[in-house]
């Protein structure tokens, strides 16, 4: 087995790992997008309910006004929690992206090493063939002189 061929199993493993990390990266991006959408929705609700109309609020009974304020507080808490979730998803995305880059770099390095070894093997073969041709030529010249 040629030296370059010995790298093929490692390249295969590294390539499969890179593909897995690509899928993980895509899933993490999708999750971040979903969480950002949820945050936008919550903020829209908070804007709608939080910017109470003074005239309308004055018309509410004290109980309904308290319930409305409690609801706005719960929405505010939900927005803060979702902001934390989005930040955590963003951090997770960056971590997955770093691991994916490491996998990609490993595949590139292994493929590059295999390419260099194959080029070296081709050069060695070319040199051997040239040496054989030179030897054959020398033998022919010596036979002509001797014969």
Give the pLDDT confidence of 46-100 residue by residue, as tens digits. Answer: 998 877 655 566 667 888 888 888 999 999 999 999 999 999 999 999 999 999 9
Give the pLDDT confidence of 13-30 residue by residue, as tens digits. Answer: 999 999 999 999 999 999
CATH number of 3-146: 1.10.287.1700
Instruction: Return all residues near 75 (Cβ < 8 A) that are at least 6 apart.
Output: 42, 45, 46, 49, 50
Give the pLDDT confidence of 89-125 residue by residue, as tens digits. Answer: 999 999 999 999 999 999 999 999 999 999 999 999 9
Please state the domain extents for the chain: 3-146
């Amino acid at each position: 087995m040629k030296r370059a061929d010995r790298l093929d199993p490692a390249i295969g493993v590294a390539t499969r790992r890179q593909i897995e990390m690509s899928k993980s990266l895509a899933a993490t991006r999708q999750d971040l997008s979903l969480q950002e959408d949820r945050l936008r929705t919550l903020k829209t609700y908070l804007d709608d309910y939080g910017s109470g109309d003074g005239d309308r609020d004055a018309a509410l009974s004290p109980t309904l006004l308290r319930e409305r304020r409690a609801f706005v507080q719960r929405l505010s808490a939900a927005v803060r929690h979702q902001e934390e979730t989005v930040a955590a998803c963003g951090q997770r995305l960056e971590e997955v992206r770093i691991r994916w880059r490491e996998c990609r770099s490993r595949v590139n390095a292994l493929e590059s090493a295999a390419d260099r070894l194959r080029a070296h093997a081709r050069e060695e073969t070319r040199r051997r063939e040239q040496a054989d041709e030179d030897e054959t030529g020398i033998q022919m010249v010596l036979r002509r002189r001797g014969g």
